[in-house]
Amino acid sequence: MAYPYDYLREDPALAPLVDEHGELTLEPAEDLFERLVVSIVRQQLSMASADAIEERLFERFDVTPTALRDVAVEELREVGLSKRKGQTVRNVATAFVERDYSREAFADWSDEAVMDELTEITGIGPWTSKMFLLFALGREDVFPVEDLGIRKGMQTIFDGDLERSEMVDRAERWRPYRSFASLYLWRVVE
């Protein structure tokens, strides 16, 4: 699968990152629900805080839709989730059960259709739905400009302050492999 890397190497801004970090991979998650819960946990948190909460959550609960659907928000707060995130986890669990979400269910959906579906769930916004596209479904052409790491990476490789719209415009040149470009942008700030 060398083509995304060969394609991105053609861009002078990304070529040094591809050379430095090699061929980064984008693998779909084994468990879509678990991956979406991880994205909810990671919303607007430092990596260290998110890791600690995620560890406590997975130690205490069976992270499945049927198990988390009926867990009290207070119990989720005990592992470090905010009240809002606890409710979002329950909302997502309910949606997975009621709508029978699966890899097969999403297979024929466009990225926009998946995002529209997920953002109908209270508590899920554009950032979380894009993380789902990237890390749960392994979609190759997602550009999560809402992510602080992506914006910092863009500012670093393009030397300066850019508006989000400018970042989106510049990322167009990486289509149809903007997900892979995003992996490299995150490496810039790690």
The boundaries of every CATH 1.10.340.30 domain in the chain are: 32-136
Residues 97, 90 contacting (CB under 8 angstroms): no
Task: Decide if 7 contacts 177 (C-beta within 8 A).
Answer: yes
Residue 97 has pLDDT above 60, yes or no: yes
Spatial distance between the Cα atoms of 90 and 46, rounded to a whole number of angstroms: 23
104-142, pLDDT tens digit by residue?
999 999 999 999 999 999 999 999 999 999 999 999 999
- Write out pLDDT tens, residues 11-24: 999 999 999 999 99
CA-to-CA dists, residue 17 to 49, 90, 144, 189, angstroms: 28, 39, 18, 12
CB atoms within 10 A of CB 130: 25
CA–CA gap between residue 163 and residue 145 (Å, rounded): 10
Q: Among 1.10.150.120, 2.40.160.100, 1.10.340.30, 3.30.70.270, name the CATH number for the domain at 32-136.
A: 1.10.340.30
Torsions phi, psi for 138 (to 5 deg): 70, 30
Token pair listed for 187? 């490496």
Nearest alpha carbon to residue 147 among 53, 46, 44, 28 = 44
Nearest-CA neighbor of 25 among 135, 146, 154?
135
Condensed to tens digits (0 to 9), the pLDDT of residues 37-78 reads 999 998 887 788 889 999 999 999 999 999 999 999 999 999
26 vs 88: CA distance, rounded Å: 26
CATH class entry, domain 3-26+143-189: mainly alpha
Alpha carbon separation from 98 to 2, 50, 163 (Å, rounded): 39, 28, 39
Q: Does the N-terminal peptide bond of residue 176 adopt cis geometry, omega within 30 degrees of 0?
A: yes
Residues of the chain with CATH 1.10.1670.40: 3-26+143-189
Neighbours of 65 (CB within 10 A): 22
Rounded to two decimals, what is the model's pTM? 0.92
